[in-house]
Amino acid sequence: MSRCPECGGKMKYIPNTKAMVCQSCGLSLSRFELDNYWKKIRSENFTEADESQQRKNRRKEWLEWYSKSKSEKEGF
């Protein structure tokens, strides 16, 4: 069962128009368009996950820098 990329509703295939139509919001896409839509969403989600990982790494680097500079200060 395909899911609507907009609202998560059920998509129903309409043979007459060769389109997938959302039962909840009425979004109409061809199977090809629906495929691309999901690919786009997945790549965006991937980018978001990537960014949060980068943010964590940045925070880790900052903490390392902070503890390093602290021990350097204590050395004086």
Residue ranges that bind Zn ion, judged by CB under 5 A = 4, 6-7, 9, 22, 24-25, 27
| Residue 71 amino acid letter | S
DSSP 8-state class, residue 23: T
Shortest Å, Cβ 74 to Zn ion? 60
Cα–Cα distance, 3 to 33 (Å, whole number): 13
Shortest Å, Cβ 5 to Zn ion? 8
- Of the pair 6, 67, the CB lying nearest Zn ion is at 6
Shortest Å, Cβ 9 to Zn ion? 4
Q: Which residues sit opposite 19 in a β-bridge?
A: 14
